[in-house]
Amino acid sequence: MARILAEGISVEFPLYHLGARSLKKRLLAATPLRLRTDDANRVVVAALRDLSFEIARGERVALVGRNGAGKTTLLRTLAGVYEPVAGRLTVEGAVGSLIDPAAGMDPDATGRENIVLRALYRGMTAVEGTALAEEVAAFAGLGEFLDVPVRTYSAGMHVRLAFAMATAMTPQVLLMDEWFLAGDAEFMEKAEQRLSRLVSDADILVLATHDLAVVRNWCTRAIRLEGGRIIGDGPVAEVLAAD
């Protein structure tokens, strides 16, 4: 059963290139809240600070907050891309991520090969993978580009393929960054139908977005981040009204 439990998680990014001591000092003095030096005397960005929350089956959660608040970092942490430096994170259920279209794709393999590889990774047979490739291909509308290495794709083609792949294998926990909701009009119309179905089938949705209409339409709960901390968590209307 799908469930997410975060107990005091923190995520930090070391800034390795900040070698010069005077530059370090100046930076730390300018932003004392978000930058600090760690035990190894490196400057680190405290991207997420001591977050605790639980997301249960059936919840559709919007992550809201200003640029740099920590929304994408939290999504990536839930997806397992980043490891918390403190606290404990439990994510139960098969996770589908629509965060970075290039993630999990082999740039030298064709679109079709990538689909089959992902299907095999998810435990499908080669025959099921090949059938899935047909379905994904039809949806992504990549035409003859399906048999061309994905490193030659445009940004929009990447999004189409990633979107079609992630949504073809209905996840229990769907993690999504808002820019997957931007695309050309024709694709977005198809994508919206498919997403609506997926969102009602997936057990948990966590969506990072600035689009308040999307939050109101799709989500039941909002978590507001600011400076890497949670400053609001509750029903959408309540959290949005508090801004």
Ligand X SMILES: Nc1ncnc2c1ncn2[C@@H]1O[C@H](COP(=O)(O)OP(=O)(O)OP(=O)(O)O)[C@@H](O)[C@H]1O
To ligand X, the closest distance from the beta carbon of 230 in angstroms equals 12
Q: How many angstroms separate the first and last alpha carbons of the chain?
A: 33
What CA–CA distance (Å, rounded) separates 237 from 20? 47
Among residues 4, 72, 140, 175, the one that binds ligand X under rule CB under 6 A: 72
Q: Is 71 in the site for ligand X (CB under 6 A)?
A: yes
Piece in contact with ligand X (CB under 6 A), picked from 19-27, 68-76, 131-139, 212-220: 68-76
Among residues 36, 68, 92, 199, the one that binds ligand X under rule CB under 6 A: 68
To ligand X, the closest distance from the beta carbon of 178 in angstroms equals 8
Q: Is 158 in the site for ligand X (CB under 6 A)?
A: no
Q: Is 73 in the site for ligand X (CB under 6 A)?
A: yes
Q: Is 69 in the site for ligand X (CB under 6 A)?
A: yes
DSSP 8-class letter at 225: E
Q: Is 13 in the site for ligand X (CB under 6 A)?
A: yes
What CA–CA distance (Å, rounded) separates 96 from 175? 6
Q: Is 77 in the site for ligand X (CB under 6 A)?
A: no
Piece in contact with ligand X (CB under 6 A), picked from 65-73, 127-135, 182-190, 231-239: 65-73
DSSP 8-class letter at 192: H
Is 9 buried (19+), middle (13-18) or exposed (0-12) by CB count in 10 A?
buried
Cβ-count burial 187-217 (b if 16+ within 10 Å, e if not): beebbeeebeebbeebbbbbbbbeeeeebee
Q: Is 45 in the site for ligand X (CB under 6 A)?
A: yes
Q: Is 205 in the site for ligand X (CB under 6 A)?
A: no
By beta-carbon proximity to ligand X, the closer residue of 69 and 173 is: 69
Nearest to 221 by CA among 237, 243, 203, 198: 237
Which positions lie near ligand X, rule CB under 6 A?
A: 13, 34, 45, 47, 65, 67-73
